[in-house]
Amino acid sequence: MQPTNQPDYLWLHIRELPYFRSLVRAVEARFYQDFDLPHPILDVGCGDGHFASVTFDQPLDAGIDPWTGPLHKAVRSGAYRLVVQGDAAQSPFPDAYFASAISNSVLEHIPHVEAVLKETARVLRPGAPFLFCVPNHNFLPSLSVSNTLDRLGLRPLGDAYRAFFNRISRHYHCDPPEVWTQRLNAVGFSVERWWHYIPPSAFHVVEWGHYFGLPSLLLHALTRRWIALPARWNLRFPAEYLTRPHYENPVSEAGVYTFYVARRQG
Packing angle of the helix pair 144-151, 200-212 (nearest 10 deg): 100
116 close to 89: Cβ distance less than 8 angstroms: yes
Buried b (16+ CB within 10 A) or exposed e, 40-57: bbbbbbbbbbbbbbbbbe
CATH for 9-140+171-264? 3.40.50.150
Whether residue 59 is predicted with pLDDT greater than 60 in this model: the reply is yes
Domain segments of the chain: what residues? 9-140+171-264, 141-170
Q: Are strands 257-264 and 189-197 parallel, antiparallel or unpaired?
A: antiparallel
What does the alpha-carbon distance between residue 74 and residue 68 come to, in Å, rounded to a whole number?
A: 10
Count helices and strands in the chain by DSSP H and E runs = 12, 7
Per the prediction, the chain carries an average pLDDT of 95
Report angle CA 115, 120, 124 to the nearest 5 degrees.
Answer: 150
pLDDT of 241: 95
Q: Indicate the pTM of the whole model.
A: 0.95
What value does the CA radius of gyration of the chain take, rounded to a whole number of Å? 18
- Give 3's pLDDT tier (boundaries 50, 70, 90): very low
Percentage of the residues of the chain whose pLDDT score is greater than 70? 98
pLDDT of 209: 94
User: Three-state secondary structure along 182-248?
Assistant: HHHHHCCEEEEEEEEECCHHHHHHHHHHHHHCHHHHHHHHHHCCCCCCCCCCCCHHHHHHHHHHHHH
What does the alpha-carbon distance between residue 9 and residue 249 come to, in Å, rounded to a whole number?
A: 14
**Range 95-99 average pLDDT:** 98
Type and span of the H or E element at 73: helix 68-77
Whether residue 115 is predicted with pLDDT greater than 50 in this model: the reply is yes
258 close to 107: Cβ distance less than 8 angstroms: no
23 close to 205: Cβ distance less than 8 angstroms: yes
